[in-house]
Chains A and B, each alone.
Chain A
Amino acid sequence: MIQIDNVSKSYDGKTLAVKPMQLEIRSGEIFGFLGPNGAGKTTTLKMITGILQPDSGRILLEGHDIVQDPLAAKRSFGFVPDDPNIFLRLKGVEYLRFIADIYEVPASVREDRVTRLADTFGLTDVLGDTLQSYSHGMRQKMILAGALLHEPPVWILDEPMTGLDPKSSYELKQMMREHADHGHTVLFSTHVLEVAEKVCDRVAIIDKGSILFCGTIAELRQHYSENSSLEAMFLQLTEGFEQQEQQQDSRTAAAENLPEEHKHG
């Protein structure tokens, strides 16, 4: 379970990347984080994983506060970043060994887990090669395998389908479903609305740091036309919000341009 309690984040103390956010991602569900580029999805995921520190509020992962009790919180999740270009000079097997050592995966299950994940993602033949020699998709799969190696109860995946071939993408979706069905939590961000529609139990649509909607796809449909595609609803929601923001901005600007006496008047 992930609890996000009144969390906000600004850059340079000025730009509010994430406005105060309240969210609970329950055990046993796949939760999709949707939004346009620069909406604040990655920033929120980075705060959840401890890469960024929130300005306010608190985040609990399986009951552990990521700021107060970071080591226990970090043990409870596996994270796949949006950019898989890390540890490029390690061989695949060296990377997985490092992750297994750090997360203290028992020796008795290591080899089996590595073999299983490598088979699932088609990495068996490349374990002896450096990540540098992998394609983007293969790097993504290797990082994914690393994130799942210690079998964490919470999966946090930033754009996990990017670069995956259809088979791996299908396998991952199946694994996400199985993980959630075992009572665990999956949180992932995506641009691909079809994936969200098919896989997610609930979604949150975020834009400019605010959650515009949080609920099931069915609930989203109740707000909009029953027959609308998720894409149409998404665009309606985000563009409507953009218009509201622009109107708000122009009202603020107009108020700032008024003579002093009118402002108080």
Chain B
Amino acid sequence: MDKLAASLKRVRVLTRMLLKNTPVIDLNSPRRQRRLASRLTGRPGLETGKKPNRWGMIILYVFLFGYLAFISAAMGFVSGRALSQAGQAQLLPEVLTTASAMLALVFGFFYVISVFYHSDDLTTLLYLPFQSTEIMIGKFAVTLIYEYVMNAAFLLPAFIAGGIGAGFGVHYYVLVLLAQFFMPVAPLAVMTFLVVLLMRFAPFAKNKDRFNTISSIVILVLVLAGSMFFSLNSQNSSANSITGGVDLSGLANSKLNRALYVFPGLPLLVKSLAETRVWPALGYFVLFVLLSLLTLAAMLLLGQGFYISGLTAMNQGGRRRRLSRSHLGRALKPRTTLISLMGLDWKQTVRTPAFLMNCVLGTLIVPIVFLISGLAGLVGGLGQSFSFSWLAQAGHYLAQGSLLRDGRDQEEAFVLGIVIIAVNGVLAFLSSINGMAPSALSREGQNAYYMKLLPTSYNRQILAKWINATLVTLLPALLLLLAAAVLLQLPPYLSLYGILVMLCWSGLSSSAGILLDLHRPRLTWDNETQAVKNNLGVLLANLLIILLAGIGVGLQLLLFLGLHLPALWLLLAGVLYLLLANVLLGWLLRRQTPRLLRQLEF
């Protein structure tokens, strides 16, 4: 008995330590974060940029949590009421429990990999006096707490509001609250066992960076596919659909709910929540809890041997690849300083999963998402089904507009003018989604000191980052422009105008982003995500570009609608304004860069 108590105490201490090491939400004050970073790195915690304060972070998290909970509750309430009206209220617990199991499975997979295999504490844990079962329980507890936080935002509000909508009795709410603690246990236990088993014999997640990159891309593709699915579905959905496009009864009756039977206990939970009588509901619930705990115990017993041996195998060094003489010669071929600096920045960005996702893929994919949503909205708004000939007709109509005629004289000239202004606005918006520039310096973190060592000017080093950021911003917009030019059969001058405007906006957005990052870099961070997410650079750069776009578009509108000048003037004024803004911001960047980088201390 004493042994068990001592073991439980060790598990408690271990779980607390693991949670502190990788908190669900890091609310440490900037000063404490610097102190921790300083303690970890052994470097003095110097002030290297302003950070958001603790209360700001709390407000942000409360807002995000509240926002998600509100959406979840609204969906739950609507579904509960609709199902109740259809006489199928008992389907609500089934659908939500299935959703919970799916969430626990999908997110559990990533949590388990991250907590069990990718955390920095593993080398320490292996030689500390913990039993393998204790390490597994501690790690499992951490993943379970992650699931609790996610369920509290995504599912609990839906369960409660759904119950209100469906008019369930009091015991439903009591059981729902209790169920939150046990609901993810069985799915997570099963997923943990599967991952532990797989990692022992096929260590697919051995390379942390590669795994994070691939999983992030998979999630992004899923989100994108989901967004497209809902966009297209919402165009076709009828107004009387009970939950705005998703038929819950169909979902509940589908093969999906059979997944529940994979996890022992969950069907009992569904029965318990759908049961109107108190005592039978309680009986089912107790059985559900017992089965969940049994599943957990079985997983721990079966998995512990595989976990430690898998971990040890994973930490053994991999095979080294010796370069051949010819390969070495090619790999050392000289490049100019600028190209070399660009290569360094690019490699460090794309090989760091958090940077790749936020700075490159985000910048590349977001415009495409907007385009798809916009196109779907346009097609839906016009009430026509999409066809390429429809686009070609629109292009033909545009080509008839005269550049030299006033919008009042010719309808096509009016449309042409509006399109010229719209192209300017849309391209400005696309360029404002620039994740590279506002984190150009922050991405370097405490290693930014090497910039001060290199025998090349600060301006050249920043120019390399500027070119990379501009190219990444330019690429998706140029692809969209190319698609528009081909599909709409745009007149060449309009395509050229689009390219010029896009070049200018991309350059402007890079200059603005880098300038902001130079003024307030976040160089002290615990993980790379903080470098790109926890500073307001992206938002501020975004606002600056929108402000500049407002002035540019406003000027074109004034010329076109106020002074009734022909469309040619809009083209010239738009390009001239952008060239001027680029020269000014570029000059400011060149002037400020040496001073701001000299001031940085490490």
**Which residues of B lie under 8 Å from residue A100 when comparing CB positions?**
332, 334
- Which one of B47, B352, B601 lies within 8 Å of A89 (CB-CB)? B352
Contact B322 A125 (CB under 8 A): yes
B447 contacts A by Cβ under 8 Å = yes
Q: Which among B26-34, B339-347, B361-369, B554-562 touches the partner chain?
A: B339-347
Per-position contact with B for A70-105: 1 when CB-CB < 8 Å, else 0?
Answer: 011011000101010111011001101110111111
B321 contacts A by Cβ under 8 Å = yes
- Which of A94, A97, A107 has the largest count of B CB atoms less than 10 A from its CB? A97
Contact B46 A102 (CB under 8 A): no
Q: CA separation between A105 and B334, bound complex, in Å?
A: 8
Contact B456 A71 (CB under 8 A): yes
**Which residues of A lie under 8 Å from residue B321 when comparing CB positions?**
128-129
Q: CA separation between A79 and B76, bound complex, in Å?
A: 62
Contact A74 B320 (CB under 8 A): no
Per-position contact with A for B24-43: 1 when CB-CB < 8 Å, else 0?
Answer: 00000000000000000111
> Nearest Cβ in chain B — how far from A142, in angstroms?
14
Q: Which among A47-55, A221-229, A231-239, A244-252 touches the partner chain?
A: A47-55
B277 contacts A by Cβ under 8 Å = no
Q: CA separation between A51 and B434, bound complex, in Å?
A: 29
Contact A125 B340 (CB under 8 A): no
Q: A51-B449, A89-B347, A98-B343 are in contact. Are A71 and B322 (CB under 8 A)?
A: no
Interface size on A, residues (CB 8 A): 46
Per-position contact with B for A164-177: 1 when CB-CB < 8 Å, else 0?
Answer: 00000000000000
> Nearest Cβ in chain A — how far from B69, in angstroms?
38
Q: A53-B598, A110-B332 are in contact. Are A93 and B323 (CB under 8 A)?
A: yes
Q: CA separation between A66 and B44, bound complex, in Å?
A: 23
Per-position contact with A for B447-466: 1 when CB-CB < 8 Å, else 0?
Answer: 10110111111000000000
Contact B455 A71 (CB under 8 A): yes
Q: CA separation between A110 and B329, bound complex, in Å?
A: 9
A-B contact count (CB 8 A): 107
Q: Which residue of A lies closest to B47 (CB)?
A: A12
A68 contacts B by Cβ under 8 Å = no
Instruction: Give chain A interface residues in 1-22, CB to chain B under 8 Å.
Output: 11-12
Q: CA separation between A142 and B327, bound complex, in Å?
A: 19
Per-position contact with A for B417-461: 1 when CB-CB < 8 Å, else 0?
Answer: 000000000000000000000000000000101101111110000
Contact A52 B453 (CB under 8 A): no
**Which residues of B lie under 8 Å from residue A75 when comparing CB positions?**
455
A133 contacts B by Cβ under 8 Å = yes
Q: A98-B340, A111-B328, A127-B323 are in contact. Are A51 and B602 (CB under 8 A)?
A: yes
Contact B323 A102 (CB under 8 A): no
Q: CA separation between A188 and B46, bound complex, in Å?
A: 24
A216 contacts B by Cβ under 8 Å = no
Q: Which residue of A lies closest to B334 (CB)?
A: A107
**Which residues of A lie under 8 Å from residue B341 when comparing CB positions?**
102
Instruction: Give chain A interface residues in 115-154, CB to chain B under 8 Å.
Output: 115, 124-130, 132-133
- Which one of B43, B335, B447 lies within 8 Å of A101 (CB-CB)? B335
B400 contacts A by Cβ under 8 Å = no
- Which of B41, B335, B337, B453 has the largest count of A CB atoms less than 10 A from its CB? B453
B492 contacts A by Cβ under 8 Å = no
Instruction: Give chain B interface residues in 286-343, CB to chain A under 8 Å.
Output: 317-318, 320-323, 327-329, 331-337, 339-341, 343
Contact B454 A51 (CB under 8 A): no
> Nearest Cβ in chain B — how far from A55, in angstroms?
11
Q: CA separation between A126 and B453, bound complex, in Å?
A: 25
- Which one of A74, A90, A106 lies within 8 Å of B344 (CB-CB)? A90
> Nearest Cβ in chain B — how far from A68, in angstroms?
12
Contact B333 A107 (CB under 8 A): yes
**Which residues of B lie under 8 Å from residue A93 when comparing CB positions?**
323, 328, 331-332
**Which residues of A lie under 8 Å from residue B601 when comparing CB positions?**
11, 52-53
Contact B329 A111 (CB under 8 A): yes
Q: CA separation between A98 and B454, bound complex, in Å?
A: 11
A46 contacts B by Cβ under 8 Å = yes
B351 contacts A by Cβ under 8 Å = yes
Contact A89 B328 (CB under 8 A): no
Per-position contact with B for A31-63: 1 when CB-CB < 8 Å, else 0?
Answer: 000000000000000100111110000000000
Contact A102 B455 (CB under 8 A): yes
Contact B336 A101 (CB under 8 A): yes
**Which residues of A lie under 8 Å from residue B339 when comparing CB positions?**
101
Contact A128 B348 (CB under 8 A): no
A114 contacts B by Cβ under 8 Å = yes
> Nearest Cβ in chain B — how far from A110, in angstroms?
5
- Which one of A96, A104, A124, A132 lies within 8 Å of B332 (CB-CB)? A96
Q: CA separation between A79 and B454, bound complex, in Å?
A: 10
Per-position contact with A for B360-378: 1 when CB-CB < 8 Å, else 0?
Answer: 0000000000000000000
> Nearest Cβ in chain B — how far from A60, in angstroms?
16
12 example contacts (A-B, Cβ-Cβ < 8 A) are as follows: A11-B46, A49-B453, A51-B452, A53-B598, A79-B453, A87-B447, A89-B347, A97-B333, A98-B344, A111-B332, A127-B323, A127-B328
The 8 lowest CB-CB distance pairs between A and B, nearest first, are A101-B340, A74-B455, A89-B351, A128-B321, A75-B455, A93-B331, A86-B447, A128-B323
- Contacts A53-B598, A87-B344, A97-B333 aside, 7 further interface pairs with beta carbons under 8 A come to A49-B453, A85-B447, A89-B347, A93-B328, A97-B335, A110-B334, A125-B322
